[in-house]
């Protein structure tokens, strides 16, 4: 069987180093807010080029904390609007609404699956305070036009970088393009911890300071609380693991790219819409967290591959505005987003996938008869 993502095999590559690190953490007697977290924060700051990194509990918290930080700094207030793509994972939207901010959804570009930058300006109102870009499926979402819009309307740009660690735009890493970025190290992400964790990166040291306190009960100094904070911290064990795995992320992402290039080069079936070709596959703008195709008869296509021992998944079956959690948005129509959610299928891709496996998947797809 070809697994969608073999996390065990990914971590097995580093198991000796990971076990040594685990032992060292166990023996240290220090499990939170220690040297491994400090080290990982400095590794991540250096990797992205952003001057500050704050290790937190998970990716959703990373994004929530960015908005909480801006609210405490007086830059945003509840009721303000944040523009976000309509076709993202719900966590992006939760981070906005959780802070009493209003998500304003904008359709994606069908060619890239990222927010359609040409449609952002018409969604701006006097209450708009930020644009959240999501580098969906691992593809960097950025442009000079986006920067111009943000500057003109005095908006913050927040990156949801949960899926795109290592991607670059014009030589700058995602996570260092906007005003602040949230990372997820959920085990299935390109840089996966062995449990939950996440991080914020930003060049803004006031925001960094504020978030650091909010994530620690609202306190800079033990038992002195400046904010009504929360508890969201990366533990020492995960930090130690992540510093080890971060050293390999560029190599792992480049292996993902070679699989993507193979898919793009050799898949030929009119029933399947591939990701935009051009020079995309090997472009450093894409780290291929997911390789997503579209097909009209999705159920049949997925069953066909399952019968041939190939696991596939859907990212994502229901868009945020159609979820029960967002009843107030249910009446809205985002036709491009809905088309995407009805037709997408994610094919297996990972740094431990073999060329033979990718070729077997391609062959199966080429023989598929809609």
Ligand X SMILES: *Cc1c(COP(=O)(O)O)cnc(C)c1O
134 or 237: CB nearest ligand X: 134
* Three-class secondary structure of residue 86 per DSSP: coil
Residue 60 in the binding site for ligand X (CB under 6 A):
yes
- Contact yes or no for 168/140 (Cβ under 8 A): yes
Strand ordering across the sheet containing 52-56: 52-56, 198-202, 180-184, 156-160, 128-134, 81-85, 102-106
DSSP label at 212? H
3-state secondary structure string, 267-295?
Answer: CCCCCCECCCCCCHHHCCCECCCCEEEEC
Residue 91 in the binding site for ligand X (CB under 6 A):
yes
2 or 60: CB nearest ligand X: 60
- Per DSSP (E only), the strands in the chain are 52-56, 81-85, 102-106, 128-134, 156-160, 168-169, 172-173, 180-184, 198-202, 219-221, 224-225, 291-294, 344-347
In this chain, which stretch among 85-93, 231-239, 250-258, 351-359 interacts with ligand X, using CB under 6 A? 85-93
Among 52, 58, 238, 350, indicate the residue that binds ligand X (CB under 6 A): 58
34 or 188: CB nearest ligand X: 188
In angstroms, the CA 267 to CA 282 distance is 16
In angstroms, the CA 16 to CA 39 distance is 20
Residue 112 in the binding site for ligand X (CB under 6 A):
no
Instruction: Give the nearest distance from C-beta 34 to ligand X in angstroms.
Output: 21
Residue 232 in the binding site for ligand X (CB under 6 A):
no
In this chain, which stretch among 35-43, 56-64, 295-303, 327-335 interacts with ligand X, using CB under 6 A? 56-64
In this chain, which stretch among 71-79, 87-95, 200-208, 261-269 interacts with ligand X, using CB under 6 A? 87-95
Instruction: Give the nearest distance from C-beta 119 to ligand X in angstroms.
Output: 19
Instruction: Give the nearest distance from C-beta 368 to ligand X in angstroms.
Output: 28
Residue 114 in the binding site for ligand X (CB under 6 A):
no
Instruction: Give the nearest distance from C-beta 222 to ligand X in angstroms.
Output: 27
CB atoms within 10 A of CB 205: 10
In angstroms, the CA 82 to CA 105 distance is 8
162 or 365: CB nearest ligand X: 162
Binding mask 143-182 for ligand X (x = CB under 6 A): -----------------x-xx-------------------
256 or 267: CB nearest ligand X: 256
The pair of structure tokens assigned to 58 is: 């998970």
Instruction: Give the nearest distance from C-beta 306 to ligand X in angstroms.
Output: 24
In this chain, which stretch among 57-65, 279-287, 322-330, 332-340 interacts with ligand X, using CB under 6 A? 57-65
Q: Is the peptide bond before 316 cis (omega within 30 degrees of 0)?
A: yes
Residue 85 in the binding site for ligand X (CB under 6 A):
no
Number of alpha carbons in the 13 Å side-chain half-sphere of residue 147? 7
In angstroms, the CA 100 to CA 72 distance is 13
Residue 92 in the binding site for ligand X (CB under 6 A):
yes
Size of the site for ligand X (CB under 6 A): 15
Among 134, 158, 177, 349, indicate the residue that binds ligand X (CB under 6 A): 134
Footprint of ligand X on residues 176-215 (CB under 6 A)?
A: 184, 186, 196, 198
Phi-psi region of 170 (alpha: psi -120 to 50; beta: other; left: phi over 0): left
Positions that interact with ligand X (CB under 6 A)? 58-60, 88-89, 91-92, 134, 160, 162-163, 184, 186, 196, 198
């Amino acid at each position: 069987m070809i697994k969608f993502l073999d996390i065990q095999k990914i971590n097995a590559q580093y198991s000796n180093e990971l076990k040594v690190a685990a032992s060292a953490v166990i023996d240290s007697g220090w499990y939170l807010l220690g040297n491994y977290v400090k080290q990982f924060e400095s590794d991540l700051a250096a990797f992205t080029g952003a001057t500050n990194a704050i290790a937190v509990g998970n990716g959703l918290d990373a994004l929530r904390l960015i908005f909480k930080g801006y609210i405490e700094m007086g830059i945003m207030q509840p009721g303000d609007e944040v523009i976000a793509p309509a076709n993202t994972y719900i966590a992006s939207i939760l981070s906005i609404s959780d802070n009493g901010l209003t998500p304003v959804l904008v359709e994606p570009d069908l060619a890239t699956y990222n927010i359609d930058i040409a449609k952002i300006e018409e969604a701006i109102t006097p209450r708009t305070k930020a644009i959240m870009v999501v580098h969906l499926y691992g593809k960097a979402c950025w442009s000079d036009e986006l920067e111009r819009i943000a500057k003109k309307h005095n908006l913050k740009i927040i990156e949801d970088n949960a899926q795109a660690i290592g991607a670059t735009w014009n030589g700058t890493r995602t996570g260092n393009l906007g005003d602040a970025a949230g990372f997820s190290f959920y085990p299935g992400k390109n840089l996966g911890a062995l449990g939950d964790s996440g991080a914020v990166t930003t060049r803004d040291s006031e925001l960094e300071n504020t978030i650091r306190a909010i994530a620690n009960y609202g306190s800079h100094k033990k038992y002195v609380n400046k904010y009504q904070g929360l508890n969201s911290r990366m533990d020492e064990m995960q930090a130690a693991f992540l510093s080890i795995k971060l050293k390999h992320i560029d190599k792992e992402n480049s292996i993902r790219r070679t699989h993507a290039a193979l898919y793009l080069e050799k898949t030929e079936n009119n029933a399947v819409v591939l990701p935009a070709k051009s020079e995309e596959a090997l472009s450093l703008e894409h780290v291929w967290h997911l390789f997503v195709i579209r097909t009209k008869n999705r159920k049949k296509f997925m069953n066909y591959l399952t019968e041939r021992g190939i696991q596939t998944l859907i990212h994502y079956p229901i868009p945020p505005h159609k979820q029960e959690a967002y009843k107030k948005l249910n009446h809205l129509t985002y036709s491009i987003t809905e088309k995407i959610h009805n037709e997408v299928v994610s094919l297996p891709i990972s740094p431990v996938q073999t060329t033979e496996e990718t070729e077997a998947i391609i062959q199966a797809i080429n023989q598929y008869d809609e």
